[in-house]
Structure 1
Amino acid sequence: MSKGQGFGFSLGKMKELTEAFKKAQQVQEGAKKLQEELDQMEIEGQAGGGLVKVILSGNQEPRRVEISPDALGEGADVVSELVTAAMKDAYNNSTATMRERMEELTGGLNLPGM
């Protein structure tokens, strides 16, 4: 090592590194808050024009299933298909919500893998 080079970090590089750590800490704090918000959300999926509804949290935890009495008259096979379709819809809605919220949280940070 020649004199004055240290470990190859200039003051500018140290400032960039410090800023990166600050941003990472902000994202970590934001992620914790987002996790709490997602847990409180209710995201709905539907099938059969609303005959069956599945409600998940924003973290994709099942909350409840609502089945219209009109759907029950269609038989078990139809109700099963409607519940499955509503679950898929709720999952897709939940995934899209999570992705949008994470993009809001990390937007502009240019984090690898995000």
Structure 2
Amino acid sequence: MIPKGGFQSMIKKAQKLQEKMQEVQNELEHITEEGQAAGGLVTIVVNGKKEIKSVKIDKEAIDDLEMLEDLILVATNQALKNIQEKADEKMKSVTGGMMGGMNIPGL
């Protein structure tokens, strides 16, 4: 049985948590991470919304198209992994780890 006023308290805490999570989502729009391949021959920058913000390709990587495709793939996956880790850290700081590894789309 929930103590009198306990339910309202739970609702208020949930609302505060939701507000903090929204703040973190807004922050993530302005945070970027990069991924690199082959020592920087290809660099991809993504933001917290997982949008690619920039692509840099060194002239040395242009000669071999198949290698370039692989480097772009590696750098993009690394950038996405880095931004996801940063997003997870920020969300964990808000939730205190309560979400326990839940993968919520968009967070």
2:73 corresponds to: 84
Amino acid at match of 1:61: E
How many residues align? The count is 102
Cα shift at 1:56: 0.7
- Unaligned 5+ segments in structure 1 are 1-7
Deviations 1:17-51 (A, max 9, x none): 22221221111111111111100111111111111
After TM superposition, the score normalised by the length of structure 2 is 0.83
1:36 corresponds to: 26
1:55 equivalenced with 2:36 (yes/no): no
On the 8 A contact 2:92/2:99 being kept in 1, the answer is no
Amino acid at match of 2:66: D
Cα shift at 1:98: 1.2
In 1, Cα distance between equivalents of 2:101 and 2:9: 19
Change in Cα spacing, 1:25 to 1:71, as seen in structure 2 (3 Å) is same
In 1, Cα distance between equivalents of 2:99 and 2:86: 20
1:97 equivalenced with 2:81 (yes/no): no
Task: Mark the structure with the bigger radius of gyration.
Answer: 1
Amino acid at match of 1:27: L
2:105 corresponds to: none
Amino acid at match of 1:36: N
| C-alpha RMSD of the superposition | 2.0
- Sequence identity, in percent? 32
Q: Secondary structure at the match of 1:14?
A: coil
